[in-house]
Amino acid sequence: MAVQGIWSGTISFSLVAIPVRLVTAVEPGRVSFHLLHSRDYSRLARRMFCPEEKAMVPPDEIIRGYEIMPDKYVLMTDEELESVSPDRSRTIEIIEFIDLGEVDPIYYDHPYYLISSKGGEKAYQLLVEVMRRTNKAGLAKFVLAEREYLVAVTSRDGALTLITLHYSDEIVPDGDISPKKGTIEAEEEGRIRKSIELMTEDFNPGKYADKRRKKLMDLLATKVKEKAPVVSPAAVEEEGEGPADLVAALEESMRKVKESK
Amino acid sequence: MAGATIWKGSIHFGETDVPVKLHSAVREERIQFHLIHKQDRVRLRQQMICALEKQPVPADEQSKGFEVEDGKYIIIDPEELERTAPEGSRMIEVHEFVKSDQLDPVLLDRVYYLEPDLTNVQGNGYNALAKALKEMDVEGICSWTMRKRSYLGALQAWGGMLRLNTLRYADEVVPAASLGLHNVVLSEKEMTIGSELIDKLTAPFEPRKFENEHEKKLRDMIEKKARGENIAILSPKRLQPTDPGQLLQALEASLKKAA
């Protein structure tokens, strides 16, 4: 199965290098709606649009720009961006391994999967297996488009996940809001502990997802009885109209994730 | 210093109620690029384009549809969605407690600090709860409604402090089984040497060690370009993938190097 990658390169630890592709590990609306045009029910697609020419812009006419003053941009090609940190733009070099249990969850940002490319399957699986057995994660830095990410590479269900981490200077100090020392009443603490004991279960995250899905399905079931579904006209797929820019599309999807919360 | 209070609520389970105030725990200040049209240097905007008319569609002409079968949709009005939205509440309801190590990192989203809300409170439930969670090594799976949206989260203790870690729903995670990975047989020797190597390369997690070195270099490059200077194009470092037949040798050489 061909999964479209956001990025391709190699991941390495010591003298072992594995060719990989990066794909997203979360899709905000796995039970989701599509946006349709109210007038003709045809599907809407997110595209980059030039407000000046009032036209869609194909990927090869798009470039990244940094705004140095209002409406004035310094343009940077992909090659120039890759030249900023050339040793990190196509390689994820694991600097060291850590015990996954030591990572404060506050650092976790966004999860991806790494998929092995041709020829890398064996070393890939070795890294997956060894990190699973030892419950370790590899720390690395790598550059995607204009950003450098600190990442933790871990093993999950037979695959390598890559989780971007926040840099420590992005963590807000909590000194001024942390609670004052105070006496804890033994009776109150005992009551809390007892409730916790009674309410401790094995975690099954699927049940919360099911609940959410059920609500949506109930709504849809009612709607189906009320009214027949609308038929969307089949649109002709045009060549070269894929996502305008994979990284931009990705950032957009991440923005959507944040907004949908 | 921590930022302003985002929301106020009360943690609830059994007979326990602990009023708290939420604060953001992460502040991102990252360099921001825009997508520009090469030809006219105009900043591009994302637009929803009608697949049929190939024209942008304004927000008031967009409908939400659920695909029941190929090309057939049930249209849902905003009012209908609104009706399924959770009712406003100030309660952070804890449904169950789970061992901290059962939380898959892939599900963990954003952390908020919880400050004790001492406005009208008796006792010291906050500190007692933080102590119990920490000593019992559990987190409370909870839900709450904030800004008209419902959140799923894990109530956790870190230091003496309570925090809420928002969780992604399990059905938002792409299953690893769908990635089409191949199973390869590994020898026990490869596994043993691989494990030894990783042990040798293990260090304590010290996030402060890592700085974003790239950002300064990037800013320098932008300034250079703004002054009209030429940028040297460096080709990215690409590593030669390890030949599968040479994996054991590469592991052994790595182990020797790490020793």
CB contact under 8 A, A219 and B1: no
CB contacts < 8 A (A, B): 550
Quick one: CA torsion of A147, A151, A155, A158, rounded to 10 degrees?
Answer: 10
DSSP H/E element including B200: helix B188-200
Q: Which domain holds residue B150?
A: 7-29+85-172
Residues of A in contact with B241 (CB under 8 A): 10, 17-19, 119-120, 123
Determine, yes or no, domain membership for A30. Answer: yes
Average pLDDT over residues B214-219: 92
Band of pLDDT at residue B38, cut at 50, 70 and 90: very high
Tokens, residue A3:
């999964």
Q: Check residue A209 and give its pLDDT.
A: 85
* Domain contains B41: no
- Residue B149 and residue B258 in one domain: no
Do B113 and B166 have their domain in common?
yes
Residues B252, B168 within the same domain:
no
Q: What is the CATH number of the domain that holds A23?
A: 2.40.290.10
C-beta of residue B63 within 8 angstroms of C-beta of residue B75: yes
**pLDDT of the residue at A27:** 83
Q: What is the pLDDT of residue B111?
A: 97
Residues B127 and B194 in one domain: no
Structurally, how many domains does chain A consist of? 1
Q: Dihedral sign, CA of A235, A236, A238, A243?
A: positive
Separate counts of helices (H) and strands (E) for chain B = 5, 12
Shared-domain flag, residues B125 and B251: no
With a cut of 80, say whether residue A64 has pLDDT above it: yes
Check B247 against A84: CB less than 8 A apart: no
Looking at every residue in chain B, the average pLDDT score rounds to 91
Q: How many CA atoms lie within 13 A of A54 on its CB side?
A: 2
Q: What percent of chain B has pLDDT over 90?
A: 67
Per-residue pLDDT band for B9 (boundaries 50, 70, 90) equals: very high
Give tens-digit pLDDT for A6-63: 899 999 999 999 999 999 999 876 556 788 999 899 999 888 999 888 888 998 999 9
Residue A1: what pLDDT? 40
The residue of B50, B62, B122, B144 whose CB has the most chain A CBs within 10 angstroms, and thus the best one to mutate to test that interface, is: B50
Q: Which residue from A minimizes the CA distance to B204?
A: A98
Residue A179 is predicted with a pLDDT of 79
What does the pLDDT read at residue B94? Answer: 97
Q: Please report the pLDDT score of residue B7 as a whole number.
A: 94
Given a cut of 70, whether residue A140 has pLDDT beyond it is yes
* Residue B31: pLDDT band with limits 50, 70, 90: confident
pLDDT of residue A169: 93
Range from A23-27, A150-154, A189-193, B77-81 carrying the lowest mean pLDDT: B77-81
In a domain, B155, yes or no: yes
pLDDT score recorded for residue A29: 62
Same domain, yes or no: B90 and B133:
yes
State the pLDDT at residue A249: 54
Which residues 202-231 on chain B approach chain A with CB closer than 8 angstroms? Answer: 202-205, 207-208, 210-215, 217-218, 221-222, 225-226, 231
Angle between helices A186-198 and B125-136 (to 10 degrees): 50
Burial A96-120 (b: 16+ CB within 10 A, else e): bbbebeebbbbbbbbbbbbbbbeeb
In percent, the amount of chain A with pLDDT more than 90 equals 57
Residue B58 lies in a domain: no
Q: Is B219 part of a structural domain of the chain?
A: no
> Does residue B142 sit in the same domain as residue B186?
no
Binned at pLDDT 50, 70 and 90, residue A260 comes out as very low
Q: What is the pLDDT of residue B149?
A: 81
Percent of chain A with pLDDT over 70: 86
Asked, for residue B80, whether it belongs to a domain, the answer is no
* Contact: B176, A150; criterion CB under 8 Å: no
Structural domain tally of chain B? 2
Asked if residue A138 belongs to a domain, the reply is: yes
CATH code for the domain of B134: 2.40.290.10
Contact B173 A203 (CB under 8 A): no
B97 to A196: CB separation less than 8 angstroms, yes or no: yes
A214: how many CB neighbours lie within 10 A of its CB?
Answer: 11
Range of the domain at A123: 7-65+80-171+206-259
Does pLDDT of A170 surpass 90? yes
* Bridge-based pairing state of the strands B161-167 and B108-116: antiparallel
Of B36, B49, B231, the CB nearest to A64: B36
A209-228, pLDDT tens digit by residue?
Answer: 888 778 778 888 888 888 88
Pick from B45, B52, B113: CB nearest A49: B45
Residue B207 lies in a domain: no
Whether B208 is covered by a domain: the verdict is: no
Are B94 and B141 in the same domain?
A: yes
Are residues B116 and B188 both part of a single domain? no
Instruction: Say yes or no: B137 and B258 in one domain.
Output: no
Which of B30, B60, B63 is best to mutate for the A interface (most A CBs within 10 A)? B63
Say yes or no to pLDDT of B153 above 70: yes
Q: How far apart are CA A52 and CA A64, in angstroms?
A: 17
Residue B160 lies in a domain: yes
Res A247: pLDDT: 59
Residue A47 lies in a domain: yes
CA distance linking residue B240 with residue A119, whole number of Å: 11
Give percent of chain B above pLDDT 70.
Answer: 97
Same domain, B23 and B108: yes
Boundary residue ending a domain (B127, B155, B172): B172
Q: How confident is the model at residue B148 (pLDDT cuts 50, 70, 90)?
A: confident
Q: Which residues does A14 contact at the CB level (< 8 Å), separation at least 6?
A: B197, B201, B254, B257, B258
- What does B12-43 look like in DSSP terms, one character per residue? EETTEEEEEEEEE-B-------EEEETTTTEE
Write down the pTM of the prediction: 0.88
ipTM for the predicted complex comes to 0.90
Q: How confident is the model at residue A239 (pLDDT cuts 50, 70, 90)?
A: very low
Is B187 found in the same domain as B114? no
